[in-house]
Amino acid sequence: MISNIIPETLPPSHLLRYLPAHQVLICLHCHYAIQPGAIVRHLKEIHYSNRLQRREFVAYASQFHLAKIDFVILPDETQFPVDLLPIHDGLACRFEGCAHLCATTKRMKAHWSSVHHNSASDNRSWRSVPLQTFFRGNALRYFTNPALLEFSTGSSEEPMSANEESPSTTITTPDADEQRIPSLSTYKHNISWSIEDTHLFNHYLSFTYKTMSSGPDTDGIFRIIVPQLAAQFPFLLHGILACSALHLASTNPQNQKSYVLQAIRHQDQALPAYHLETMHVDTDNCRAILAYAFFLVVYGLSPESEDDILFLSNKWEATPSSNWISLLRNGCSMLCNVWSELTHGSLAPFTALWREDLGTTVDPSDPILMSLLSVISESHEAADCGNRSSDSDMHIYRDAAFKLAEAFEFTRRCGASLSIWDALNSWPIRVLPEYFDLLDRNHPGALLLLAYYAILLKPLQAEWLLRGRVTKLMDEIGRRLEGSCSLHIWNLFLVAQRELLS
């Protein structure tokens, strides 16, 4: 304890060392970084410095920019190991797309049991790696040389797959598709790359891409072609990493905050570059722009995104509809000059998801349509029919009601193959732009239609993109309708609510 005391004559630079490459302040005595905002506590509780001493050290430390814990820049292959930090013997999980790091076999086995729901094998489930950590205590987070974690990009060792038994006795080589994906070094030349980014990218290639695909026609595009484009367009790469982080956040509650922060960081870097590209759409960038549209939609849909309620503004005041909805609806017009090339190119299956005609016809006696159209009759009986605004609203409502009935017929025809892209294309893309104006004004009819659309999303609500979102949407619609709509609309809403919860 006594050895921790700082001599009164010790200059601050002899105790504190700033590492600009990582934006951390290392205590040379303790051999770890001091958390931002904790310098005074560290000096007082660890080194027993007096107030006058602390003032000098704090003044010295204040000249440096210290990154928040979740934004510390981790070392790349050329920077590991980090000077001044001790090196520990550790383990890296070899489950495909995971790369979890820990210091003991006991913790690794617990990780395999709780996260991968499988038993771990000493010779196959992990590999030995050197570990370092900038921080201690509740901020402890190990890192290693990123090159040691690149199992899927040229390593003779293959990561374990999700359906592979732990005691596997075979080692395979990358398949033809794997070899067509650019090496990680290609991406690292385009953006500032961290060990977390390697984890996110591998997770996307192993898992996230499949959750975004609408079927076999788009599997290869999300898995191979999109990463190829991302090697040329950093905004698309950031979009991939952002969505992968949100996917991980949805499946890893313990690390949710960290993954969400990573997603926000990548999205914040993607959007400005993306908007800049959309100002000059041409044959060179059109495929990357189209591909990124899908990632922007996924980002907006995700329960962990900043878009709190699907399709609805967060406040009662009228506000513009979500950016991702606008992009989904207007993507074709933005790319109209190159649409023909896109429809005949490698992303043709993507363009096919924008259907102008669902190819369905609605029976006028369809129960859902009849229920929705009954609102118009009820409105004319209760309101002033000479009100031009009311007539205009009812025209918008009627158009959206018919299209919603067509959407229900379309999704019934899709059956078990229904994808999130089918559901979005079937109605939100096809309604009149004025419908969203009604929705922003909390128009009771517009809210009722959205409640019935929530029923259409019911088969998809278990997907991570919509987990908890559909029920939350229905609850919010009910909150906005209660006390501000006719009894007839309220009763129809209750029918929709019961159908969703049944």
Burial of 52 (0-12, 13-18, 19+ CB in 10 A): exposed
Give the 3-state secondary structure of residue 133: strand
Residue 236 domain boundaries: 195-354
Same domain, 284 and 332: yes
On whether residue 3 sits in a domain, the answer given is: no
Q: Which of 154, 139, 145 is nearest to 70 (CA)?
A: 139
What percentage of the chain reaches a pLDDT higher than 70?
83
Same domain, 115 and 241: no
Same domain, 371 and 348: no
Q: What share of the chain is helix, strand, coil (3-state, %, to 5)?
A: 55, 5, 40
Q: What whole-number distance in Å separates Cα of residue 173 and Cα of residue 31?
A: 41
**Mean pLDDT, the chain, whole residue set:** 82
> Considering the entire predicted model, what is its pTM?
0.61
Same domain, 35 and 144: no
Model confidence at 308: pLDDT above 80: no
- pLDDT band, very low/low/confident/very high, at 487 (cuts 50, 70, 90): very high
Same domain, 382 and 473: yes
Token look-up 């905002």 returns: 37
- pLDDT band, very low/low/confident/very high, at 491 (cuts 50, 70, 90): very high
Q: Which residues pair with 253 in a beta bridge?
A: none
Contact (Cβ atoms closer than 8 angstroms) between residue 484 and residue 442: yes
What pLDDT is stored for residue 381 in this prediction?
Answer: 52
Question: How many other CB atoms are there within 10 angstroms of residue 242's CB atom?
Answer: 27
On whether residue 174 sits in a domain, the answer given is: no
What pLDDT is stored for residue 162 in this prediction?
Answer: 42
pLDDT tens sequence across 327-337 = 667 666 678 88
On whether residue 170 sits in a domain, the answer given is: no
On whether residue 1 sits in a domain, the answer given is: no
Same domain, 207 and 316: yes
On whether residue 444 sits in a domain, the answer given is: yes
Number of domain units in the chain = 4
Q: What whole-number distance in Å separates Cα of residue 298 and Cα of residue 310?
A: 12
Token pair belonging to 292:
């990124």
Cβ burial 145-176 (10 Å sphere, 16+ → b, else e): bbbbbbbbbeeeebbbeeeeebeeeeeeebee
Same domain, 402 and 291: no
What pLDDT is stored for residue 188 in this prediction?
Answer: 66
What pLDDT is stored for residue 468 in this prediction?
Answer: 86
Lowest-confidence pick of 194-208, 325-339, 352-366, 483-497: 325-339
Same domain, 221 and 335: yes
On whether residue 34 sits in a domain, the answer given is: yes
Contact (Cβ atoms closer than 8 angstroms) between residue 68 and residue 115: no
Q: What whole-number distance in Å separates Cα of residue 163 and Cα of residue 182?
A: 25
What pLDDT is stored for residue 161 in this prediction?
Answer: 47
Contacts of 367 (CB under 8 A, 6+ apart): none
What pLDDT is stored for residue 364 in this prediction?
Answer: 84
When pLDDT is averaged across residues 316-343 and rounded to a whole number, the result is 67
Same domain, 213 and 315: yes
On whether residue 359 sits in a domain, the answer given is: no
Same domain, 252 and 380: no
Model confidence at 419: pLDDT above 80: yes
What percentage of the chain reaches a pLDDT higher than 90?
32
**Segments in 181-233 forming alpha helices (H):** 184-188, 195-203, 209-212, 216-220, 226-230
- pLDDT band, very low/low/confident/very high, at 168 (cuts 50, 70, 90): very low
Q: What whole-number distance in Å separates Cα of residue 133 and Cα of residue 136?
A: 7
On whether residue 486 sits in a domain, the answer given is: yes
* 3-class SS string, 13-37: HHCEEEECCCCEEEECCCCEECCCC
Q: Which helix (H) or strand (E) holds 10?
A: none
When pLDDT is averaged across residues 238-260 and rounded to a whole number, the result is 91
Same domain, 346 and 210: yes
Residue 172 Rama label (left phi>0; alpha psi -120 to 50; beta): beta
pLDDT tens sequence across 110-136 = 888 877 777 776 667 888 899 999 998
Same domain, 372 and 461: yes
What pLDDT is stored for residue 332 in this prediction?
Answer: 60
